[in-house]
A and B are shown apart, each in its own frame.
Chain A
Amino acid sequence: MTLVDLFVAFCFVLGAVAAFFTAFHPNILYGAISLIGSLVAVAGIYGALGADFLAAAQLIIYVGGILIVILFAVMMSEDIYKRRFFEGARKYIFPAIAAGVIFAGLARITLGADWSDVTKPDFEPTARAMGWALVGPYALVFQYVVVVLLSGLIGAVIIARPAVKMKQLDEEITKSGEE
């Protein structure tokens, strides 16, 4: 057992515990904050297994961006301490079934795979290879993601526009339709 193995094991435990808290903590704020643990743990696993670029991207996108947006939303909600999101077992049935199916699938794949010929390669920087892959074989997928993000941005702009302007816009559109 090397140090890397120990570190990966630690990250797995940290991620699992934090994910458990995220799902089951009665206070949604603590749930959101314990996401830090699982997201950082995933970054740690990426880093330890040689995906250095992915690890940094995980930190910058999930911890620095998405988590902050989630926290913003949670903190802006009213009476966050009074609310309890533990509303009885019925709400857990469907998520539990879904999680169970996904877990069973992953477990099947993991146990069914032949791990005997997997050797640990030496650490190699991945950023350059990933960059070439994104403009080469995966260019189409990359452009697809770009279009999805762009439509998201346009949607955000439209939602953020003041209501008055939207009304004016509607009137203008109906007017031009009448003409």
Chain B
Amino acid sequence: MSLAEFLSGLNQLLGTGIPMAIFSVLSAVIVILLFAMPVGGFCTYLERKVAADFQERIGPNRVGPLGLLQFFADGIKMFLKEDSISKNADRWIYNFAPSLVLAGSFGAFAVIPFSAYIIGTDLDIGVFYAMALGSLVSLGVLLGAWSSDNKWSLIGGMRGAAQIVSYEIPLGLAVLSVITISGSMSMHQLVAQQAWPSPGGVGHFWNVFHNPFMFVNFFIYFTAALAECNRTPFDLPEAESELVSGFNTEFSGMRFGLYALSEFADVILFACIASAIFLGGWHVPFFDLQSLNIGLSVGELDLSPLVQSVLMIGVFLFKVAVLVFVVMWLRWTLPRLRVDQLMNLCWKYLIPISFFNLIGAAVWTWAFEGRSILQLLGQVLGVY
């Protein structure tokens, strides 16, 4: 049973109207509180631990076993800190900006397909919706930076907005080529098509191995996503060594917390989208998890979907975790780019390459009628 069916069942129970609206809003808030917030918080702990490993330090180790509760302590500190606003700050915009960033990065989680049965809402324009909400982030960064009346902030904010607007183009083109070969924008459809190829099945295995152009496109997507989340080597908007803390210099307490949290939420979001549209989502090689039947049932209720779901979520989150780890790994490996290098990389390399790849993927889809390398290989070898 998908969440949508569950909701429509509840809809009949509650009747359409205000109670349903309140329930929807509340459930969205609860999902955010239960998933994105703790995972985002845990990522701050992970980031410090990974950083420590790369620098041969121990990292946080005092709060709880292995320092695991460190992010709770951080969170409590954030809540208790004085919420100071500098005198000349533009209060209205200053208060408003962090919520824009939060809305942009958390709202997109609605279309992430955690398993074949668990997805907030399977919008027909899923990927496009996620990218549209992502555009709120750059607005929040720019407004927050401008309103805090601080040179460092303003430089950081301008850099951030310019960077995000620029890198949205290769990102969008990479996603567009996925849509080209799949013919759908719905997240569920996109993932369902990436099953292990079987005779008469729709699956063509992970999009990243669909054809050579898609393989390159995955790395373009990943690079552009790094820039979209302001992560090293593209962390110019908050370059600590030049701009104090960049666009969020003047923010303190929970307002800063919102910025920090949504940065990690952004990283997780882009990792989720990358693993859903390129790395096959919940699919594993050689086997279709959805055909798994354990033959256990409680009364009328078949337990297979439940077990499948648990496995799918595990597979999906494992891929996300690997991507997030690579992001952290890059942070402690690569130096920061200069502004001109950043723009050169985007406009002179990534965008032409991604245009070429888009045309290449379209030609491949036309020439081989949408079949992937693996399917063609299977045909040549006569497997099916």
Contact = CB atoms under 8 A, between A and B. Distances in A.
B10 interface: no
A56 B143 contact: no
B332 interface: no
A32 B185 CA distance: 32
Contact of B135 (A3, A33, A63): A63
Provide the main secondary structure of the chain B interface: helix
Interface stretch (A68-76, A87-95, A102-110): A68-76
B142 interface: yes
A28 interface: no
A5 to B, nearest CB: 11
A125 B20 contact: no
A64 to B, nearest CB: 2
Interface range, A side: 20 to 34
B128 A53 contact: yes
Interface string B51-89: 000000000000000000000000000000000000000
Contacts of B17: 2-3
B136 A64 contact: yes
A91 B132 CA distance: 37
Contacts of B92: 30
Given A52-B123, A60-B128, A72 B136 contact: no
A59 B134 CA distance: 9
Contacts of A125: 124-125
Provide the main secondary structure of the chain A interface: helix
A67 interface: yes
B158 interface: yes
Contact of B20 (A3, A57, A72): A3
Contact of A65 (B21, B135, B143): B135
Interface in B1-49: 16-18, 20-21
A33 B124 contact: no
Interface in B120-164: 123-125, 128-129, 131-136, 138-139, 142-143, 146, 154, 158, 161
Contacts of A19: none
B330 interface: no
A64 B128 contact: no
A45 interface: no
A127 B124 contact: yes
Interface of B: 16-18, 20-21, 92-93, 123-125, 128-129, 131-136, 138-139, 142-143, 146, 154, 158, 161, 165, 168, 185
The 8 nearest A-B residue pairs measured at CB: A64-B135, A125-B124, A59-B132, A56-B132, A60-B132, A56-B128, A56-B129, A60-B135
